[in-house]
Structure 1
């Protein structure tokens, strides 16, 4: 059936219910019609729990059908949906639930929280499969990391319109940026759906009428097998995945047919030119890149042939976006000169939930900065010089040092600590902790093991330092400030380092 003129998932599912919507992690298939029925039941169930427009629902869910149902059910009744990283500790999850004022949280059995709902069955039970009345578009509110110690919700104004009035704008935008169009296509989810890009692309795929194939986790061989088996046409990945793919033996790589791929979209971290070139040598010119943030959304984009003509660029401003490069005083800089990247768009603005000061600090008038340094060439193509000064991007995931430092400083063995990210070929950056032991505490492997054990209940494992090194004193200013960029520079240039690594 030709669904190209239908405005998104809900309309597509009603018109073509037999179309395959989701192939889950266990291989089970759900049609558009069955998914819509479950989505409608859960929408009714959420309203029956007293939730109305502008309220917040959270999900602590692994990749799978329940995560998809919650995304689409909240999206038609004006709710904010907050996907939460299920790797976080109990305390970290509790912080987000409190900060977002979640009226309900849905989890799976392995990640239950006090008062939470296990799965979507209870919400759907006894509810009608027909569409709810007075439908109105909701929004996803992702909690983003930063450099101030705690994540904040990125909140956008809810549109006073049903989803079908909003979806055509996104369909147009995706077509312009990454050549995705409605029709018969297959999207592969390769990353956890609590991250903004994988979550958004899952939603986009359903609005385009595509089949969504879900993986529980990234494994290079599994990904290649799924691409061949399901004739995957588009996927969203991060550079770490490309690196791991390229490490496969040549005979393993040659075993799988990837000729169905048309768009492999990557974001979240800078991709080394050699890695991107090697993947395109293997898969063909199918790598589309965009740069932005949870706050800005897709601000810059570059298609494969444009990137091959300008290796290393992250593209030109996406449709509706304007960009400028400014010095530390907010003055515009000429092409070729690095400075702070600022963007703005007519598609809408955001605010950090409950934190107007943080919102204001990220703005220069109407212009938002993700805090990254880059320059524009004469043709308006952006080249990144560095990610945010302190933020660590490891495997495409943002990790902020202040939170790790706070966890380490909570222990009696640490007098002072600086956490930095250092370049790593596979992960982009690794977390390194430079620790000043408390008086009388002996540095070494035993202390490293003790510190990591101390971190266990406080921060998620992916935030734990990969390397712990010891210093007699850290270079703080008289006012107590610490320049992590200077610490990082010293670390990278110092010879003969003694470390205790994992």
Structure 2
């Protein structure tokens, strides 16, 4: 058979459609129209109602001139309107830019200008922030204001002159609007700005194809069956909530919204709503475990907790298992739609002692089924490093769930994609079984007396001390050694220890040159997703 005979079969609408997660909502509403889609306080909406609201939002945006390639920004917590934006905005062909609610006004202003936002949907709690940002940017977007009944009275009292109430806005839309499919699955679906710890944040662009594939990958990696009940502890503004606004809908699940992560609220909702899945950084796990005993509620079943953001300490993983959570450890970056690597649990490990199981679970793992390539390589030669669990290289990725690129920054895009792979900037080792484990960010590695010290390794040792709640280790300049480890510590409530005791503890676990020379007790600065802001700590350590 000649290849031409196969090639003669054309790609036509009957056999080829662009991949998009928007069809997940259409299917859920058609197959399970009365199933509960959204829970938020007293609000309970079915999939038929959710779809109607999303389509009305899309049509209302269309009437205000939003079309293919136009950016709509959202400054919202985890409320139903944020979920609706994940469907209504791209149903116009527009691009959703979810903004981190903890950013300063100047950075918000930069994002609005750089992304050329034509519309901003804002919760009243963040109206003062947006008002200040609008005084610092050239963009003059239409403002749509959300009045959430679950917000505080003080938050709901905020107003922005000229803003349109969200409910009034979507009331002008037609739920019969025949929203257009993306003309190409490569079309942009969302814009996410990196945390911007150094310089201006970069605008990471996602496409419909990647969003659909990553959402399906989440279903598989999180073991998500039909009708999951998902608690929104991960901010939807972070990597579009790791694509879970689309993931949960793909399985016709229930989105349980939560404005703010609080221990008692999480336990209450898990118990009352029968939560099956949730996501977050290790700090969320610490909040759950640290909730007062009288505020914890009995769980109707085991809850799957998908954790990422930073390598969780083995001790915390073990504690979560003891508390009745099944932990799925994933790893990723904004540039790969959130999680794209998973610690795929091997049943052979079940016979290992609990401590060894926790250590195995702390590894980042293997590629998602939606990611085509994952390697640890020498960034200079692009040669794979020896899979011995010791040799260190840079984590690199390749595939359909890697971003389109950085908006309006071809130089940074080309640098990130040098050699045909996405360079993560994360340093890791590969074990003989193919699983990878992060050892540090390239900028966080500590070089003391010519020896590389993994800050993660030192932190893991500190977490083994019973008084340590949160630990971060950074380099501190040293005249003799160049750099030495400096530890910043938050203690568990009701506990006490000293710097000398922690240093002595580390000496029982680590080689001498890896032991922190300095220990600082303080509340650690964190991002909205729970990541410790090491750039702040490095500046403090450098300043003495």
Q: Please tell me the TM-score bracket, short chain as reference.
A: 0.7 to 0.9
Q: Which residue of 1 aligns with 2:263?
A: 220
- Trace 1:50-449 onto structure 2 (pairs within 5 A): 50-112=65-127, 113=130, 114=134, 115=141, 116-119=143-146, 120-136=166-182, 139-146=189-196, 148-157=198-207, 167=212, 169-170=213-214, 172-181=216-225, 183-196=226-239, 198=241, 200-249=243-292, 251-252=293-294, 256-284=297-325, 286-297=326-337, 298-304=339-345, 309=357, 310-319=360-369, 320-330=371-381, 331-336=383-388, 337-347=391-401, 349-390=403-444, 425-427=468-470, 429=472
Q: RMSD over aligned Cα, in angstroms?
A: 3.3
For 2:397 and 2:487, the matched residues in 1 are separated by: 33
For 1:122 and 1:197, the matched residues in 2 are separated by: 25
Deviations 1:319-361 (A, max 9, x none): 2332222224233211121111111114554211111111122
Using the TM superposition, give the Cα deviation of residue 233 of structure 1 relative to its aligned residue in structure 2, in angstroms.
0.8
What is the TM-score normalised by the length of structure 1? 0.73
Using the TM superposition, give the Cα deviation of residue 13 of structure 1 relative to its aligned residue in structure 2, in angstroms.
1.3
The answer to whether the Cα contact below 8 Å between 1:287 and 1:303 also exists between their aligned partners in 2 is no
Q: Matched residue of 2:220: which SS?
A: helix
Using the TM superposition, give the Cα deviation of residue 7 of structure 1 relative to its aligned residue in structure 2, in angstroms.
5.3
- Alignment CA distance shift 1:498-1:227 (3 Å): closer
For 2:328 and 2:422, the matched residues in 1 are separated by: 24
For 1:140 and 1:207, the matched residues in 2 are separated by: 18
For 1:27 and 1:313, the matched residues in 2 are separated by: 40
- Aligned length in residues: 408
Q: Matched residue of 1:375: which SS?
A: strand
Using the TM superposition, give the Cα deviation of residue 174 of structure 1 relative to its aligned residue in structure 2, in angstroms.
2.8
For 2:217 and 2:414, the matched residues in 1 are separated by: 27
- Alignment CA distance shift 1:143-1:486 (3 Å): farther
For 1:31 and 1:77, the matched residues in 2 are separated by: 22
- Alignment CA distance shift 1:263-1:495 (3 Å): closer
The answer to whether the Cα contact below 8 Å between 1:187 and 1:235 also exists between their aligned partners in 2 is yes
Mind listing any 5+ residue stretches in structure 1 that lack a counterpart?
Answer: 1-5, 392-422, 435-473, 477-484
Using the TM superposition, give the Cα deviation of residue 311 of structure 1 relative to its aligned residue in structure 2, in angstroms.
3.7
Using the TM superposition, give the Cα deviation of residue 93 of structure 1 relative to its aligned residue in structure 2, in angstroms.
0.8
For 2:403 and 2:520, the matched residues in 1 are separated by: 47
- Alignment CA distance shift 1:491-1:111 (3 Å): closer
For 2:242 and 2:516, the matched residues in 1 are separated by: 41
For 1:263 and 1:375, the matched residues in 2 are separated by: 27
Q: Matched residue of 1:66: which SS?
A: helix
**Among 481, 485, 492, the residue aligned to 1:489:** 485
Using the TM superposition, give the Cα deviation of residue 491 of structure 1 relative to its aligned residue in structure 2, in angstroms.
7.4
Q: Matched residue of 1:10: which SS?
A: helix
